[in-house]
Amino acid sequence: MAASTSPPADLSAALVLDPVASAEWLVILPVAWCLAIGALLVMLRRKIDWHPYIAVLGLAGLVLIDVFLLRHVLASGPLTMVMGRWLPPFGIAFTVDLSGALFALAASVVALAGGIYSLADINDSGRRYGFYPFLMLLMAGVSGAFLTGDIFNLYVWFEVLLISSFGLIVLGSEREQIDGAVKYGFLNLIATTLFLITTGYLYASFGTLNMADIARKAEGLAGTAPLMTLTALFVLAFGMKAAAFPVNFWLPASYHTPRVVVSALFAGLLTKVGIYALIRVTVMLLPLQREELSFVIALVAALTMLVGAFGALAQSDFRRMLGYLVVAGIGSILAGIAVGGPGGIGGAIFYALHSMLVMTALYFASGIAARLGGSFSLSSLAGLYRRHAGFAALTLMLAFAVSGLPPFSGFWPKVMLVKAALDIGAWWLAGALLLTGFLTTVVTGRFFLLAYWRDAGAGEGATASATISPAALLPLTALTVLALAIGLYPEPLLATIQTAATGLAEPSAYLNSVFPGGAP
Amino acid sequence: MEAWFALLVGIFFTVAVYLLLSKSIIRVLLGVAILGNAVNLLIFTGGRLTRGVPPVIPGHQDTLTGPAANALPQALILTAIVISFSFFAFLLVLAWRAYEELQTDNTDEMRVAEPKDEPAPPLGY
Amino acid sequence: MKSVIFRAVAPFLASLMVLFSIFVLLRGHNEPGGGFIGGLIAVSALAIYGIACGVETVRRAIYFHPMAIAGAGLFASAVAGLISIAARVPFMTGLWIYPSVLGVEIPLSTVMLFDCGVYLVVVGAISSVALSLEERGGE
């Protein structure tokens, strides 16, 4: 300690000794902010009435931080901060590039919408149970996963968001929820364990866990290290988290059981974290192996899309149908990852961002529909258009958006993906994308006909309330307007996403940000 | 030494996968616990084994003097142990609640959320 | 638990264990020990006390709700990382101050604050689980 006998070691080779610019704190702030607010909420057990307001303010703050982060990254490129001054690759680095900042911002917008919707959906007992602390911790995990630059740290954030999602999914403890939570819990734990196995192998072959360091060394190790095994395991692990075809069954089995706002948040955030991790690992860290695996990923993508679309067609429950639509969306994103190139990866990122906003909004719509019509079942839900025409219009817009029809946000990524698939000659993948779009249109048309246009029988649904709480309508409207705005004026977002996709494929700016002076 | 550990990890994984394939939720849970330990051993072996030299710097020095065991896998495992411990606790309670609520520990019979005899979706209106 | 011997000894044993847990916590800076293991020892102390004298007694004795303790720990850890903003060094850098109390120099650091936070998180979270399990078991 203070009185050491040996001469002090030269620390400049191991530590960051320059003072840190305050802008760099933007990398760490989303996580630290969510953790601090979450901890504060846990401490304020006696003041349950304050929880919603503190949480909504906290989430609004998170959106602001993420906006500043995105602006900073747009202006001056990727940003790195290492924990405890230890230089990478020894210290845990938080590095954000354009794609990470985009995902983080979309996630915070979704969370803010969820926070506002929860004012109408989460009652006193849910608050006492700790909905809001769990929500903040979930956001800490999600933000951490988007911003970290270290594979093992990514695993830790996966676990943070997983344990908070466990807390959220059993909120209410009904029989159905317990049933759904068992499947959700076990399969997601196995998926993260698979991720950990892969991390173990990765460390054994690379001797490092820093993403930039791995990206640098991957090409040199291609001859000796089992990189194909690593990539395949990563695809399996993250595919399971994202609900890709052969390992997707936990999602439709569990996403319709919790509270509406919890389903909405899960649909918007959790599978997309898996997708983001998959993009990060396969595109930036192990690009050559992704190309070799691209046929397998394409096959998985096509099957995921079709399973999702046909599954949605066969459902008679609004929320279970939405669960399958989430799966179909994941398939489209995977198609982009399989195709690769700026068009494919850009399309995948765009589709993921669109899906985050629109799927969350659709779950909100299902919650409002159930409140108005008294049920989630499409056999008894009816006459919603009569009851609230404005809400029906919003839902119709979201239905168009999720089917990929213009002028909504789903259209452009679909165009990009189909074009990218045709460009490399994968006509069958393009065909699967278009078929899924068509089937999704049928699915959404079907639920709209049944639940909204069908006349309610006399006296049916008379007990259900006829007004929508503004706290539920506001986030739905905001997300729909956002989807419409992206659809009508996609140019700035499109340009940003193209830059992000290029930054992933050519990570020299990312590497420079982690290792400013070149190789140590 | 590493070869023996690799074999041991293989045995752990075999046992874990066998248990995970079972229908009884308690066996699946035991499988998850063993899987967690298998992964920990895997990381430990992946960091290469060095016996008898803990990476502890003596009180009167600032740096390590000789070769020492790799400390990073130990830190990773510590993290993973804590996490898998808490997950095991959570899933144990969840399995118990599921048994209480659903009156079964057979995963085939857990169909409350997805009932078997669901009516077909309406075909017209 | 009905055993008279156990009930007579448990309070002393528990207080000794809590004391030991704090020793382990503080020792952890440079030697084996630390917040996590110290927290576990403290939880076992609370659990023993709970088995002997009832969960209600323990809840009264720790005054705060266990989850509130865990929240305070998490908050302390987050704050320990954020203090480095003021010193213009990266997140979670260890910062030291050496105030002297009654002529004795006492080194204090953000690292210690972080470890105390971990201690509180472990004590809070695990004792919350343990106490609620003990309550169920007593039915």
**In chain C, whose CA is at the least distance from the CA of A35?**
C78
Give me the residues of A, 186-225, that contact B with CB < 8 A. 186, 189-190, 193, 196-197, 199-201, 203-204
Q: What's the rounded Cα separation, in Å, for the pair A432 and A310?
A: 12
pLDDT over threshold 50, residue A4: no
Task: Look at residue A341 in the predicted model and tell me its pLDDT.
Answer: 86
Confidence at A464, pLDDT banded by 50, 70, 90:
low
| DSSP class of B24 | B
Mean pLDDT of chain A: 89
Q: What's the rounded Cα separation, in Å, for the pair B98 and A180?
A: 10
Confidence at A239, pLDDT banded by 50, 70, 90:
very high
Residue A315 with chain B: CB contacts under 8 Å: 121
**Pairing relation of β-strands A79-82 and A93-96?**
antiparallel
> Hey, is the C-beta of C98 within 8 angstroms of any chain A C-beta?
yes
Residue C129 with chain B: CB contacts under 8 Å: 89
For the stretch C58-109, pLDDT in tens is 899 888 999 899 999 999 999 988 888 888 888 888 888 888 888 888 888 8
Q: What's the rounded Cα separation, in Å, for the pair A368 and A314?
A: 22
3-state secondary structure of C130: helix
| Mean pLDDT on C38-53 | 92
Task: Of A225, A220, A247, give the one whose Cα is nearest residue A236.
Answer: A247
Alpha helices (H) in A77-97, listed in sequence order = none
Whose structure tokens read 């480095």? Answer: C84
Asked if C15 and C24 touch (Cβ cutoff 8 Å), the reply is no
**In chain C, whose CA is at the least distance from the CA of B82?**
C36
pLDDT over threshold 50, residue A364: yes
Residue A22 with chain C: CB contacts under 8 Å: 85
CB-CB: which of C68, C77, C107 is closest to A42? C68
Q: What's the rounded Cα separation, in Å, for the pair A448 and A413?
A: 24
Asked if C115 and C34 touch (Cβ cutoff 8 Å), the reply is yes
**In chain B, whose CA is at the least distance from the CA of C32?**
B56
CB-CB: which of C67, C73, C90 is closest to A16? C90
> Hey, is the C-beta of B81 within 8 angstroms of any chain C C-beta?
no
DSSP secondary structure, B56-83, as one string: ---TT-SS--S----HHHHHHHHHHHHH
Task: Look at residue A482 in the predicted model and tell me its pLDDT.
Answer: 94
Q: What's the rounded Cα separation, in Å, for the pair C40 and C126?
A: 8
User: Which two three-digit tokens encode residue A255?
Assistant: 């996403």
Residue-number span of the structural domain to which B77 is assigned: 2-51+70-109
Task: Look at residue A274 in the predicted model and tell me its pLDDT.
Answer: 94
Give me the residues of A, 141-170, that contact B with CB < 8 A. 152, 156, 159, 162-163, 166, 170
> Hey, is the C-beta of C81 within 8 angstroms of any chain A C-beta?
yes
Domain count, chain B: 1
Task: Look at residue A296 in the predicted model and tell me its pLDDT.
Answer: 93
Amino acid at C46: L
CA distance C18 to chain A (A): 22
> Hey, is the C-beta of B35 within 8 angstroms of any chain A C-beta?
yes
Please indicate whether, in this complex, the C-beta atoms of A22 and C85 are within 8 angstroms of each other: yes
Q: What's the rounded Cα separation, in Å, for the pair A303 and A282?
A: 20
For the stretch A108-161, pLDDT in tens is 999 999 999 999 888 888 888 889 999 999 999 999 999 999 999 999 999 999
**In chain B, whose CA is at the least distance from the CA of A377?**
B121
CB-CB: which of A166, A186, A450 is closest to B125? A450
DSSP secondary structure, A504-520, as one string: HHSTHHHHHHHSTTS--
Here the ipTM equals: 0.93
> Hey, is the C-beta of B66 within 8 angstroms of any chain C C-beta?
no
DSSP secondary structure, A287-346, as one string: HHHHHHHHHHHHHHHHHHHHHHHHHHHT--BHHHHHHHHHHHHHHHHHHHHHH-HHHHHH
Q: What is the dihedral of CA A126, A356, A150, A10, to 10 degrees?
A: -90
In a domain, residue B57? The reply is no
> Hey, is the C-beta of B54 within 8 angstroms of any chain C C-beta?
no
Asked if A97 and A509 touch (Cβ cutoff 8 Å), the reply is yes
Confidence at A451, pLDDT banded by 50, 70, 90:
confident
Residue B86 with chain C: CB contacts under 8 Å: 125
CA distance A169 to chain B (A): 11
In a domain, residue B90? The reply is yes
Q: Is the alpha carbon torsion for A168, A171, A173, A179 positive or negative?
A: negative
> Hey, is the C-beta of C15 within 8 angstroms of any chain A C-beta?
no
Q: What's the rounded Cα separation, in Å, for the pair A113 and A105?
A: 12
| DSSP class of C105 | E
In a domain, residue B47? The reply is yes
CA distance B1 to chain A (A): 15
CB-CB: which of C30, C36, C129 is closest to B82? C36
pLDDT over threshold 80, residue A459: no
3-state secondary structure of A449: helix
Task: Of C8, C22, C18, give the one whose Cα is nearest residue C46.
Answer: C18
Task: Look at residue A421 in the predicted model and tell me its pLDDT.
Answer: 94
| Mean pLDDT on A60-81 | 93
User: Which two three-digit tokens encode residue A69?
Assistant: 């982060």
Backbone φ and ψ of B69, nearest 5° = -60, 150
Q: What's the rounded Cα separation, in Å, for the pair A106 and A497?
A: 13
Asked if B91 and B29 touch (Cβ cutoff 8 Å), the reply is yes
Whose structure tokens read 């765009």? Answer: A350
CA A440 to chain centre: 21
Confidence at A235, pLDDT banded by 50, 70, 90:
very high
Task: Look at residue A171 in the predicted model and tell me its pLDDT.
Answer: 85
pTM of the model as a whole: 0.92
User: Which two three-digit tokens encode residue A296?
Assistant: 């397998």
Q: Which residues, in sequence order, are bridge partners of residue A168?
A: none
Cβ-Cβ contacts under 8 Å for A107 (sequence gap 6 or more): A66, A139, A142, A143, A146, A268, A269, A272, A356
Establish how many alpha carbons lie within 13 A of residue C138's alpha carbon, considering only the half-sphere containing its beta carbon: 15
> Hey, is the C-beta of A54 within 8 angstroms of any chain C C-beta?
no
Please indicate whether, in this complex, the C-beta atoms of B59 and C30 are within 8 angstroms of each other: yes
Please indicate whether, in this complex, the C-beta atoms of B61 and A4 are within 8 angstroms of each other: yes
Exposed/middle/buried for C26, CB within 10 Å: 0-12, 13-18, 19+? middle
Asked if A338 and A351 touch (Cβ cutoff 8 Å), the reply is no
Q: What's the rounded Cα separation, in Å, for the pair A439 and A352?
A: 19
Confidence at B63, pLDDT banded by 50, 70, 90:
confident
For the stretch A346-358, pLDDT in tens is 999 999 999 999 9
pLDDT over threshold 60, residue A6: no
Distances (CA, A) of C34 to A173, A270, C73, C129: 36, 33, 14, 21
Task: Look at residue A514 in the predicted model and tell me its pLDDT.
Answer: 87
Confidence at B64, pLDDT banded by 50, 70, 90:
confident
In a domain, residue B31? The reply is yes
In a domain, residue B45? The reply is yes
Please indicate whether, in this complex, the C-beta atoms of A85 and C78 are within 8 angstroms of each other: no
Per-domain boundaries in chain C: 4-138
Please indicate whether, in this complex, the C-beta atoms of A35 and C72 are within 8 angstroms of each other: no
C interface with B, Cβ–Cβ below 8 Å: 30, 36, 125, 129
Output helix, strand, coil percentages for chain B, rounded to the nearest 5: 60, 0, 40
For the stretch A257-273, pLDDT in tens is 899 999 999 999 999 99
Residue of B78, B93, B99, B100 to mutate for C, most C C-beta atoms under 10 A: B93
Q: What's the rounded Cα separation, in Å, for the pair A283 and A316?
A: 38
The chains in contact with chain C, meaning 3 or more Cβ pairs closer than 8 Å, are A, B
3-state secondary structure of A214: helix
Domain with B12 in it: what CATH number?
1.10.287.3510
For the stretch A422-437, pLDDT in tens is 999 889 999 999 999 9
> Hey, is the C-beta of B26 within 8 angstroms of any chain A C-beta?
no
Residue C78 with chain A: CB contacts under 8 Å: 32, 35-36, 39
CA-based radius of gyration for chain A: 23
Q: Is the alpha carbon torsion for C75, C77, C83, C89 positive or negative?
A: negative
3-state secondary structure of A459: coil
